[in-house]
Amino acid sequence: MNTTNLPKTRAEAKATGAKYYFTGDPCKHGHIAPRKTKGSCVECLKVEWAQALETRADYFKEYNKSEAGQKAKKGYYERNKDAVIASAQARPDEAKNQYKKKYKEANPDLYKELVSLRRRRFRDATPKWLSPAQKMEIRLKYRLAIELSRATGVRHAVDHEIPLQGEGVCGLHVPWNLRVITQDENLKKSNKLVDHPPEQ
């Protein structure tokens, strides 16, 4: 903040309607900085705000871990699902990747458990009678998703048209139940059934 044209005293600031004044003298905490006409030294305020934010962050960190916090988050998501998904989809890929990386680093045990659960769900949903050619067809679906993501710059994913854990019905991890769609389409679909027959 440029202090050159600021009033020199609070009285002068009040008289002229200025929001700040600058005496050139240190405040009680040693800051030589402008002061608010209706407040204190701006540097002191910055320290107070930083401390308040830290305390507030600690509070919400603990609250989010609590049963009440989890219930509130779940309720908010259920009431605003479309808006939450739209907001997540609107974030740049770089921001999404940074969030995932940070989440993995902060929750290594939980992430391992989720990965293990996902693999187990896929394994349980894969029939033992699938032929080698059909298993290769599944792998090719995932390769196609990767290639499309690289070629278009738009993230693609392999979707189960009949979800493995759907609402009222569970599908199988078989080639004819798989299709390659964009990540955004996959997030919108979630675990719902599609309204057209699986691709052959």
The answer as to whether 114 is a domain residue is: no
- Domain extent, residue 134, equals 127-200
Give SS3 for 36: strand
Identity of the residue numbered 151: A
Q: How many angstroms separate the CA atoms of 185 and 175, rounded?
A: 19
Q: Could you give the number of structural domains in the chain?
A: 2
Q: Write out the two tokens for 42.
A: 């701006």
Q: Write out the two tokens for 189.
A: 């679909």
The answer as to whether 200 is a domain residue is: yes
pLDDT at position 190: 66
- Taking only the tens of pLDDT, the chain with its 200 residues reads 788 889 999 999 999 999 999 999 999 889 999 999 988 899 999 988 888 888 888 888 888 888 888 899 889 988 998 888 888 878 887 888 888 888 888 888 887 888 888 888 889 889 999 999 999 999 999 999 999 999 998 889 999 988 887 667 788 999 999 999 998 888 877 666 555 544 44
Q: How many angstroms separate the CA atoms of 19 and 97, rounded?
A: 43
pLDDT at position 192: 65
pLDDT at position 19: 92
The answer as to whether 84 is a domain residue is: no
Q: Maximum distance among all alpha carbons in the chain?
A: 88
The answer as to whether 66 is a domain residue is: no
Q: How many angstroms separate the CA atoms of 34 and 22, rounded?
A: 5
- Note the pTM of the prediction, 2 decimals: 0.48
The answer as to whether 14 is a domain residue is: yes
Nearest-5° Cα angle at 17, 14 to 20 = 75
The answer as to whether 150 is a domain residue is: yes
The answer as to whether 16 is a domain residue is: yes
